[in-house]
């Protein structure tokens, strides 16, 4: 059996729809609750690293000291071991920061359903994807400079670095590629999430967001599944 190491930054968060992909492909998940003080285990016994989103910012190491440990683990995993990596939202920003890129606050941020562009690129991590995709966004920080040697594979009007690749073994998305119907339900049931969303978008905006997300869910799922399938195929985790 293969092992996927999941780095979690907040209670109740999960890889969402990708849990089904892990089960289908024979991955046994190991979740590290960094927010609860758990430490990253020895990396050699795992095959895939999946880094979730969260409310933290990459520069808040004094407030969240475990971020230092996490960044070191990501750097070792991607740059030294060259093993398969998938990061979403904060996991996207942590990949960039760990490898020498820059992350800062966005002038606008994105909360809701937005379009991203993925131009044609020979990198197999974006094989089979058309140019325009609807995705779920929830972020106020963004990657402003990609790390040396990384490739920007996707962008939006607000955030130019939406999809990032390191070689053909590490992939990250600023948008919530893990977000399916299960994730939307979890967000809705988590205390404070609706208020947080509407603090950015206005009262009543969360219901509008849900309508848009459920309406576009088929397209959202297709894009997300293709990205995951491309990664596990390119890295020969699944043959």
Residue from 70, 133, 178, 179 carrying the catalytic annotation: 178
Check pLDDT > 90 for residue 238.
yes
Residue from 110, 169, 176, 179 carrying the catalytic annotation: 176
Determine the 3-state secondary structure of 38 from DSSP. coil
> Structural domain boundaries of the chain?
2-234
Question: 28 and 3 in contact (C-beta within 8 Å)?
Answer: yes
Kindly report which listed range (5-9, 36-40, 192-196, 233-237) carries the lowest average pLDDT score.
Answer: 192-196
pLDDT of amino acid 50:
99
Options 1.10.287.130, 3.65.10.10, 3.30.460.10, 3.40.50.880; CATH for 2-234 is 3.40.50.880
Residue from 9, 89, 92, 169 carrying the catalytic annotation: 89
* Cβ neighbours of 174 (radius 10 Å): 34
CA neighbours closer than 13 Å in the CB half-sphere of residue 143: 35
> What does the pLDDT look like over 87-99, one tens digit per residue?
999 999 999 999 9
CB neighbours of 202 closer than 8 A, spacing ≥ 6?
A: none
The owner of tokens 């809701």 is 112
Active site residue 132: no
Q: Helix 205-215 crosses helix 217-234 at what angle (to 10 degrees)?
A: 60
- CA distances to 106, 155, 217, 218 from 101, in Å: 15, 16, 32, 33
Active site residue 142: no
The residue among 164 and 191 whose pLDDT is bigger is 164
**Stated pTM of the model:** 0.97
Active site residue 89: yes
């Amino acid at each position: 059996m293969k092992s996927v190491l999941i780095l979690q930054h907040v209670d109740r968060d999960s890889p969402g729809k990708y849990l089904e992909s892990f089960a289908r492909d024979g991955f046994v998940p190991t979740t590290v609750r960094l927010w609860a003080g758990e430490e990253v285990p020895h990396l050699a016994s795992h095959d895939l690293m999946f880094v979730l989103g969260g409310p933290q910012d990459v520069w808040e190491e004094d407030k969240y000291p475990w971020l230092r440990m996490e960044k070191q683990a990501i750097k070792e995993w991607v740059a030294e071991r060259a093993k398969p990596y998938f990061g979403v939202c904060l996991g996207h920003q942590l990949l960039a920061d760990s490898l020498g890129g820059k992350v800062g606050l966005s002038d606008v941020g994105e909360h809701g359903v937005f379009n991203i562009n993925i131009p044609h690129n020979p990198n197999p991590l974006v094989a089979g994807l058309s140019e325009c995709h609807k995705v779920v966004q929830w972020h106020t920080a963004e990657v402003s400079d990609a790390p040396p040697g990384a490739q920007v594979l996707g962008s939006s009007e607000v955030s130019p670095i939406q999809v990032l690749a390191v070689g053909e073994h590490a992939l990250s998305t600023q948008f919530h590629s893990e977000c399916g119907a299960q994730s939307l339900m979890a967000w809705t049931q988590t205390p404070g999430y609706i208020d947080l969303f509407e603090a950015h978008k206005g009262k009543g905006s969360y219901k509008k967001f849900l309508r848009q997300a459920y309406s576009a869910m088929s397209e959202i799922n297709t894009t997300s599944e293709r990205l995951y399938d491309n990664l596990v195929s390119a890295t020969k985790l699944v043959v």
